[in-house]
Amino acid sequence: MTDDDFESDLEELSSAEDFLEYFKIEYDPKVVQVNRLHILQRFHDYLADVDEQPDGADARWALHADLLGAAYLDFVTSDAKTEKVFRVFHMHEPKIASVPLSDLLGQIPHAAGV
């Protein structure tokens, strides 16, 4: 496989199942059905953590296969809420703020006597 072939193959993959099948990773369709976006995002995150891609398409294919396999296994043994892949899972509970009515009324000129 050439580098161009590998890049071309990657461009054609569109679903989590496509990626898993291309990289020859056995998977449970039930796990993928529930976590497909989380798996692909985790795979993307793992790839982003790689400082330097190896030379050669075969070595890059092997690296991608290992990282995708790890991303998939994260969701076999855990769940999306625990793994917190997406930013929405890192958001904190809303904070309640209160403003005394007297502060609000003091800002309205005609409400001073109320």
* Dihedral angle over CA of 74, 75, 78, 81, nearest 10: 110
Task: Tell me, yes or no, whether 48 lies in a domain.
Answer: yes
Task: Tell me, yes or no, whether 101 lies in a domain.
Answer: no
Task: Tell me, yes or no, whether 104 lies in a domain.
Answer: no
Element (H, E) at 103: helix 101-105
> Contact at 8 Å (CB) between 111 and 74?
no
C-alpha distances (whole Å) from 21 to each of 10, 37, 100 are 12, 16, 60
Residue 15 to residue 12: CA distance in whole angstroms: 10
Residue bearing the bigger pLDDT, 75 or 101: 75
Task: Tell me, yes or no, whether 53 lies in a domain.
Answer: yes
> Contact at 8 Å (CB) between 39 and 15?
no
Q: What is the CA radius of gyration of the chain?
A: 24
Report pLDDT for 90: 45
pTM for the full model? Answer: 0.70
Task: Tell me, yes or no, whether 91 lies in a domain.
Answer: no
For the ranges 8-12, 22-26, 74-78, 98-102, the lowest mean pLDDT is seen at 98-102
Report pLDDT for 16: 94
Boundaries of domain holding 71: 3-86
For the ranges 12-21, 62-71, 103-112, the lowest mean pLDDT is seen at 103-112
Residue bearing the bigger pLDDT, 19 or 80: 19
Task: Tell me, yes or no, whether 100 lies in a domain.
Answer: no
Q: Per-residue pLDDT for 46 more than 90? A: yes
Report pLDDT for 63: 97
